[in-house]
Amino acid sequence: MANWYLQNGKDSDVVISSRVRLVRDLQGFRFLNKCSKEEQEKILAQVKEMVPSLGYGLKYINLEDIDDVTKLSLVEKHLISPEFVMESKGKKAILLNEEENICIMLNEEDHIKLQVFSSGQELENLMNLIVEIDEKLGEMLDYSYSEKFGYLTASPIDLGTGMRASVIVHLPALTITGNLAKVLRVVTNFGMSVKGIYGEGTQNQGDLYQISNNQTLGITEKEIIANVKNITEKIIEQERTARKMLTKNQLEIEDRVYRAFGTLTYARKISAEECRELLSEVKLGTDLGIIKELDDGKIKKLELYTKTGNLQKYVGKTLDGYEREIKRAEVIKQIVAE
């Protein structure tokens, strides 16, 4: 079976993926910003020792043993954070399973960051999975915990549950109809965070946005999931309404998405940024049933294998910038023709 990021899930026309994460720190160790390398190594050793007992097919991998292209590919899949890779100081590792729907970062901002992933909207199932993993880990490791504040974390904004639930949503129709800013304002007014897919604000990144909870203290895990799910459902409704508006002028939307499809398919070289923007409109055209030459599976492949790191993994060699633009255009043609 294909990995989760190559599958479609519930409401995948709008919700690209879901993630739930928990941060935990260990009793008897300082928070990471004060932690010596010796302490960091002890944290890694403690976690590594219990990996076989944890299960889930997880493998322990030191970050320094991962080559740069593979690190970039993991960032592009949102399995690890850019900061985790860029901050060269310290001892770091990940626990990763073959399906890559579970990835645990060790010594990122906190000692342990548990993450579970799925395509589409699957927040409740992900919550059940991560709570199960967390309970197993908690039986083997001594978490920092306060009766008053809940789980103690490196950042005060994670106190309490330490849980963040997030979805990545594709909102091209709201952008085209000029309603995006209004919808995103409502989301933030409900106490949610809106970011670009790598966290760099809300600039256009192929009309993709990450919605997540802000509150972790004084609220239960189930309440967090319910709140994010409710907001997500409202966003889905608004985006689908905007798409219906676009189809009232069928010729215009057909012309728009097929122009994007033509450029994407017949370009001899293409940058990552242009590819991302064109793919947004091509996915819209495919979801609306206008572009018949593609299906959901091909869209998922195009979204993954045109990204810089995963493109190089796909072709099996390191490429410079100009070579990547040429090879990206070739890979697009290959996937479309499959």
Instruction: State mean pLDDT over 217-228.
Output: 95
Cα separation, 173 vs 179, in Å, equals 8
Is a pLDDT exceeding 70 seen at residue 115?
yes
- SS3 state at 53: helix
Convert the pLDDT of each residue in 43-84 to its tens digit. Answer: 999 999 999 999 999 999 999 999 999 999 999 999 999 999
Mean pLDDT along residues 115-142:
97
Which tens digits make up the pLDDT trace of 229-286? 999 999 999 999 999 999 999 999 999 999 999 999 999 999 999 999 999 999 999 9
Last residue of a domain, one of 242, 269, 291: 242
Residue-level pLDDT at 2 = 81
Buried b or exposed e, range 264-303, using 16+ CB within 10 angstroms: bbebeebebeebbbbbbbbbbbbbbebbeebebebbbbbb
pLDDT at residue 201, as a whole number:
42
pLDDT at 161 > cutoff 70: yes
Shared domain for 100 and 117, answered yes or no, is: yes
* Cβ neighbour number for residue 326 with a 10 Å cutoff: 14
Kindly state whether residues 155 and 301 are assigned to the same domain.
no
Asked if 86 and 231 sit in the same domain, the reply is: yes
CA atoms of 60 and 95, how far apart (whole Å): 5
pLDDT tier at 202 (50, 70, 90 boundaries)? very low
d(CA 338, CA 327): 17
**What pLDDT does 86 receive?**
86
Q: Note the residue count of the chain.
A: 338
- Stronger pLDDT, 87 or 136, i.e. the higher one: 136
Alpha-carbon span 310 to 217, nearest angstrom: 37
How many structural domains comprise the chain? 2
pTM of the shown model: 0.94
Return the CATH number at 67: 3.30.590.10
Q: Are residues 18 and 121 in the same domain?
A: yes
Check whether residue 236 and residue 301 sit in a common domain: no
pLDDT for the residue numbered 89: 75
Q: Are 324 and 265 part of one and the same domain? A: yes
C-beta of residue 329 within 8 angstroms of C-beta of residue 268: yes
- Percent residues over pLDDT 70 in the chain: 97
Identity of residue 151: Y
Q: Which of 242, 265, 294 is the last residue of a domain?
A: 242
Cα 24 to Cα 151: distance, rounded to the nearest angstrom:
7
Summarised one tens digit per residue, pLDDT across range 85-109 is 987 678 999 999 999 999 999 999 9
> How does the average pLDDT of the chain come out, rounded?
94
Does 135 share its domain with 262?
no
User: Is there a single domain that holds both residue 204 and residue 324?
Assistant: no
The answer to whether the beta carbons of residues 149 and 142 sit under 8 Å apart is no
Structural domain boundaries enclosing 312: 250-337
One domain for residues 268 and 127 = no
Q: What is the mean pLDDT of residues 144-160?
A: 92
pLDDT at residue 208 tops 60: yes
Residues 219, 73 within the same domain:
yes
Which residues are within 8 A (CB) of 306 and not within 5 positions of it... i.e. 6 or more apart? 270, 272, 275, 276, 279, 328, 331, 332
Question: Do both 317 and 187 map to the same domain?
Answer: no
- For residues 235 and 175, state if they share a domain: yes
* Amino acid 196: pLDDT: 81
Domain closes at, from 200, 216, 242: 242
